[in-house]
């Protein structure tokens, strides 16, 4: 099943705030139990790019041996760490629930009592499917930002939707064409429909995931323009991650945009938030793609290197130099 079908059918249930009951609950249906299980008896402990990772297998793993899970965790952690400059939290636990078949997901990520994720994986899944899959990187991206009030779910789901393919492309795990294909084909689903009341008040699937992702793409462009290419959205997101410590923190969107904007000496995040949170604003996505030099011709994604924002487009999917405590070595897994 491809990414779009998967998201449309079941979404990615990432929990923002107060004690939710995730769908498809099996034996471990609350974060306290998952946290205790992974803290006391993990099947695997890894240390990577500044993060200590515990992995547990819940029940009959069948063909899902822990070394296969380790390879997938390392590949995904490398992409997320490359984007954020380090693994986004100090401690993270992953509980894998083996299920029938070969599907990957659903997944749920919590920030309390610690950063933990529960993820269902089919016992018959192939190594190729694991290598190509995006769900683990999406969940790890959720670790990077604080939790927000429920009405701002679009802010974090949009962020994970936007960042996940870019993080993988920066390490060469997918092509830039694949990144922009999602934008060309799927981002229009984030446009406001009749009766839309803005991102904070319209909790449909399209507005939450792709409307949210559109906010982050517009922020990317605004930061680039305001700073004449000196700063990027990546700088703002790294700053929010460092200031909050990740998803154990609980912030308002106002706090996050203030920290992000300060890092890039701009008001782009706050200004866009003010424009989009309470009103239906249709975005000229065709115009945005033209500026970036992106088009789809006969099913292929084509780039125009003479477009006004072609340099920005190239930089988005290029590996940035590590900062602080991180080193390039920690991103290389194979
Ligand atoms: Zn999510």
In terms of DSSP bridges, do strands 51-57 and 116-122 run parallel, antiparallel, or are they unpaired?
unpaired
The crossing angle, in degrees rounded to 10, of helices 153-170 and 135-144 is 120
**Cα–ligand 1 centroid distance for 297 (angstroms):** 30
**Cα–ligand 1 centroid distance for 16 (angstroms):** 10
**Cα–ligand 1 centroid distance for 139 (angstroms):** 6
pLDDT of residue 219: 98
Contact 81, 49 (CB under 8 A): yes
**Cα–ligand 1 centroid distance for 142 (angstroms):** 7
**Cα–ligand 1 centroid distance for 113 (angstroms):** 19
**Cα–ligand 1 centroid distance for 154 (angstroms):** 9
pLDDT of residue 8: 37
Going from N- to C-terminal start, the domains of the chain cover 3-144, 150-331
pLDDT of residue 320: 83
**Cα–ligand 1 centroid distance for 22 (angstroms):** 13
Range 171-176, long-range pairs (CB < 8 A, 24+ positions): 171/78, 171/79, 171/82, 171/319, 171/331, 173/75, 173/79, 173/131, 174/132, 176/303, 176/313, 176/314, 176/317
pLDDT of residue 65: 86
The crossing angle, in degrees rounded to 10, of helices 176-186 and 285-292 is 160
Instruction: Dig out the tokens for 147 from the structure.
Output: 């939790």
Residues 6+ apart with CB under 8 A from 60: 98, 123
**Cα–ligand 1 centroid distance for 10 (angstroms):** 11
d(CA 159, CA 49): 21
pLDDT of residue 231: 97
**Cα–ligand 1 centroid distance for 244 (angstroms):** 19
**Cα–ligand 1 centroid distance for 235 (angstroms):** 21
pLDDT of residue 325: 47
d(CA 193, CA 272): 19
Instruction: Dig out the tokens for 51 from the structure.
Output: 């993060």
For the chain, which ranges sit under pLDDT 70? 1-27, 322-334
**Cα–ligand 1 centroid distance for 277 (angstroms):** 19
Residues 6+ apart with CB under 8 A from 121: 64, 69, 96, 97, 98, 99, 103, 104
Q: Where are the beta strands (DSSP E) in the chain?
A: 44-48, 51-57, 91-99, 104-110, 116-122, 294-297, 300-303
């Amino acid at each position: 099943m491809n990414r779009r079908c998967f998201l449309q059918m079941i979404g990615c249930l990432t929990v923002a705030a107060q004690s939710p009951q995730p769908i498809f609950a099996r034996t471990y249906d609350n974060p306290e139990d998952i946290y205790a299980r992974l803290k006391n008896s993990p099947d695997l402990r890894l240390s990577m790019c500044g993060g200590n990772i515990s992995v547990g297998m819940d029940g009959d793993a069948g063909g899902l041996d822990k070394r296969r899970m380790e390879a997938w965790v390392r590949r995904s952690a490398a992409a997320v760490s490359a984007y954020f400059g380090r693994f986004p939290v100090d401690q993270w636990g992953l509980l894998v629930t083996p299920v029938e078949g070969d599907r990957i997901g659903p997944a749920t990520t919590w920030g309390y009592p610690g950063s933990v994720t529960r993820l269902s994986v089919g016992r018959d899944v192939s190594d190729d499917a694991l290598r190509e899959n995006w769900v683990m990187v999406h969940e790890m991206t959720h670790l990077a930002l604080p939790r927000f009030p429920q009405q701002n779910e679009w802010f974090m789901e949009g962020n994970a939707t936007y960042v996940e393919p870019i993080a993988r492309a920066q390490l060469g795990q997918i092509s830039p064409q694949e990144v922009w294909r999602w934008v060309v084909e799927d981002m229009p689903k984030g446009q406001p429909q009749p009766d839309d009341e803005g991102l904070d008040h319209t909790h449909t699937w399209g507005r939450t995931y792709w409307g949210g992702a559109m906010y982050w793409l517009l922020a990317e462009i605004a930061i680039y323009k305001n700073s004449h290419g000196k700063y990027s959205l990546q700088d703002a997101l790294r700053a929010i991650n460092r200031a909050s410590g990740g998803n154990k923190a609980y912030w308002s969107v106002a706090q996050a945009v203030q920290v992000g904007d300060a890092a890039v000496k701009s008001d782009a995040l706050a200004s866009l938030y003010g424009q989009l949170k309470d009103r239906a604003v249709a975005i000229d996505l065709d115009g945005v793609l033209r500026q970036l030099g992106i088009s789809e011709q006969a099913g292929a994604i084509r780039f125009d290197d003479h477009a006004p924002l072609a340099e920005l487009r190239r930089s988005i999917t290029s590996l940035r130099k590590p900062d602080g405590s991180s080193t390039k070595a920690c991103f290389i897994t194979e």
